[in-house]
Chains A and B, each alone.
Chain A
Amino acid sequence: MQQNLSSSDPIVSLRDVQKSFGPLRVLDGVSFAVERGEVLALIGRSGSGKSTALRCIDRFEKVDGGEIVVCGHRVDRPDVDLRALRQDVGIVFQSYNLFPHLTIEQNITLAPCAVKGMATSRARDLARKVLAQVGLEEKLHAYPEQLSGGQQQRAAIARSLAMQPKVMLFDEVTSALDPELTAEVLKVIEQLAADGMTMVMVTHEMGFAKGIADRIVFMHRGKVHETGPASILTSPTTPELTQFVGTGNLKS
């Protein structure tokens, strides 16, 4: 399934992607691409299709039409090797989804051991390393319920990082957190961006999107309505984006 991938090919590309839930057309010809090392922010109102677009990249939703290529995998095809795809793609969810019966260390080492056959001792070293990256080394042996929401989300990011993905997807990862906890999670994501990780994020944090994203994709009614560098948030060209950013507080 994996085609030869030259370094100039985009990591993620969507072309004319269509997706309906029953009669509701959620994605209506969505196209965008993410280059290696790029940070792309998907913004838009609730129901605009941004989360669905993100989930299509990791094939949590099957598309009805169009083409999706992720790290050389043809995600739109029915015969895509899901496990190979998901070793290349890391995803972090709004609700953290840490495994409650496992310690943070076990949460992190499970996939490298079970999927990649990594030796336990190496996986443990790796767990320490990725937890240090998100500033949670001291929580190695804690259970998820002993952590705050922000810590749980950072642990979930660490768990994803341990699989050494080529691209990370963030699906409204701070929406369940208060401003203080949001800030600690965003700091971790900023550091990842600085380290050159390719990322696609659905976010409602406009100030953060503006600060970190190389490119913004503004979705409206299932279509890419406006796209461009972060500066489009301060000088939008379409009335819909003007209205959308006008409702937030972008003064900072």
Chain B
Amino acid sequence: MSLQLDFPAVLERWPSFLGGAALTLELAAFATVLGALFGTLAAVGRGSRSPLIAGACKVYVETIRNTPLLVQIFLVYFGLASLGLKFSAFTVAVAALTINVGAYTAEIMRAGFEAIPRGQIEAAEGLALSRLQIYWHIILLPAIEKVYPALTSQFVLLMLASSVCSQISAEELTAVANYIQSDTYRAFETYIIVAVLYVILSLVMRAGFWGLGLVLFPRRRRLGTPL
């Protein structure tokens, strides 16, 4: 039994690897931004006084959290196709990942909303702020701050999970790797490189979220309290 690794044969494809990594990051960025917005709206919706809206948001969250991501991707992919709608695999991947991470974001944000003391909202109401203004000025940022580590971990997980988008041939890192290994017959080396690239992407995202945290929570910066 001997292990022979031939990295140079695979590494000469470095432009493809980097292109794949960039696409994965792009995919994750779109899905993170859209999913954060979508999920926050769903979290607000779950607290709605209208049972219809609250119920719809609950069904959405529970359905997504209890089905596999790959099945969700196929449902969006083949669902749109059978409706006669043609989108690129990348767009479908963004849509499916957004729907997926939106549900997890909704649950995390709901926990954040519930952690806001009742007195904060009463004080804001007492100052004649409207419901929307209270959400925007009083609830949103402190809620995000309370769940920021959980939230950002979820987005990093999403980036890693986006590798299953290779199943619908969306151009991203794992899909690129699949081509390369079938071309070079160097599967082990290829996926070692891919694994390293995913680690680097995770670190890049975590650094990005750390920087974003400094901008979002100036009090932490001023008082030196870590997140």
Chain A residues close to B by CB (< 8 Å): 58, 60, 82-84, 86-87, 89-91, 93, 95, 97-101, 110-111, 114-115, 143, 145-146, 156, 159-160, 163
User: In the complex, what distance in Å separates the CA atom of A183 from the CA atom of B2?
Assistant: 83
> Once the chains bind, are A95 and B127 in contact (CB under 8 Å)?
no
0/1 interface trace, chain B 101-134, chain A, CB 8 Å (1 if under): 0000000000000000101101111111110010
B142 near A101 with CB under 8 A, answer yes
List 24 A-B residue pairs with CB atoms under 8 Å apart, sorted by A's residue number. A60-B126, A82-B125, A84-B128, A86-B125, A86-B127, A87-B128, A91-B126, A93-B119, A93-B122, A97-B122, A99-B120, A101-B142, A101-B217, A110-B127, A110-B137, A111-B127, A111-B128, A111-B129, A115-B127, A145-B223, A159-B127, A160-B126, A160-B127, A163-B128
Do A90 and B126 have beta carbons less than 8 Å apart?
A: yes
Question: Is the interface on chain B under 10, 10 to 19, 20 to 34, or 35 or more residues?
Answer: 20 to 34
Task: Report the separation of the CA atoms of residues A146 and B145 in the bound assembly, to the nearest whole angstrom.
Answer: 18
* CB-CB under 8 A for A95 and B128, given A101-B145, A101-B217: no
- Kindly state the separation between the CA atoms of A86 and B141 in the bound complex, as whole angstroms: 24
Chain B nearest Cβ from A75, distance in angstroms: 14
In contact, B128 and A86 (Cβ under 8 angstroms):
yes
Residue from the list A100, A114, A159 in contact with B137, Cβ < 8 A = A114
Q: Decide yes or no whether B222 CB sits under 8 A from chain A.
A: yes
User: Which one, A90, A91, A143, A160, contacts B219 given CB within 8 A?
Assistant: A143
Bound-state Cα–Cα, A100 to B123, Å: 12
- Decide yes or no whether B138 CB sits under 8 A from chain A: yes
Q: In whole angstroms, what is the CA distance A90 to B127 when docked?
A: 7
- Flag B77-92 by CB within 8 Å of A: 1 or 0 each: 0000000000000000
Interface residue SS majority, chain B: helix
Does B141 contact A163, Cβ atoms closer than 8 Å? no
Judging by beta carbons under 8 Å apart, are B128 and A97 in contact? no
- Greatest chain B CB density within 10 A among A84, A90, A95, A163 is at A95
Given A82-B125, A99-B142, A114-B129, 13 extra CB contacts under 8 A: A83-B130, A86-B128, A93-B122, A93-B123, A95-B117, A95-B119, A97-B120, A98-B123, A99-B124, A115-B127, A145-B223, A146-B223, A163-B128
Rounded to whole angstroms, the CA-CA distance of A156 and B223 in the bound complex is 21
Which residue of the partner chain, among B117, B120, B126, B217, contacts A58 with CB atoms under 8 Å? B126
CB distance from A147 to the nearest CB of B (A): 12
Is the Cβ of A97 less than 8 Å from the Cβ of B119?
Answer: yes
Interchain CB contact under 8 A, B123 and A99: yes
Using known A-B contacts A58-B126, A93-B122, A163-B127, determine if residue A100 contacts B142 with beta carbons closer than 8 Å.
yes
Which residues from chain B contact A83 at a C-beta distance below 8 Å? 128, 130
Task: Given A83-B128, A83-B130, A110-B137, answer yes or no on A143-B223 (Cβ-Cβ < 8 Å).
Answer: yes
Cβ of B123 and Cβ of A114 under 8 Å apart?
A: no
| Cα-based distance from A123 to B141 in the complex (angstroms) | 22
Residues of B within 8 A of A98 (CB): 123
Cβ contact within 8 Å between A115 and B120: no
Q: In the complex, which residue of chain B has the Cβ closest to the Cβ of A86?
A: B128
Q: How far is the CB of A110 from chain B (nearest CB, A)?
A: 6
Q: Are B122 and A60 in contact (CB under 8 A)?
A: yes
Interface readout for B173-195 with A: 1 if CB under 8 Å, 0 if not? 00000000000000000000000
Residue contact A97 to B123, C-beta cutoff 8 Å: yes
Task: State A82–B131 Cα separation when bound (angstroms).
Answer: 11
Quote the shortest CB–CB distance from A108 to chain B (angstroms): 10
Q: Which chain B positions have C-beta within 8 A of A160?
A: 126-127
| Distance (whole angstroms) from the CB of A95 to the closest CB of chain B | 5
Cα separation A146 to B223 with both chains bound (whole Å): 9
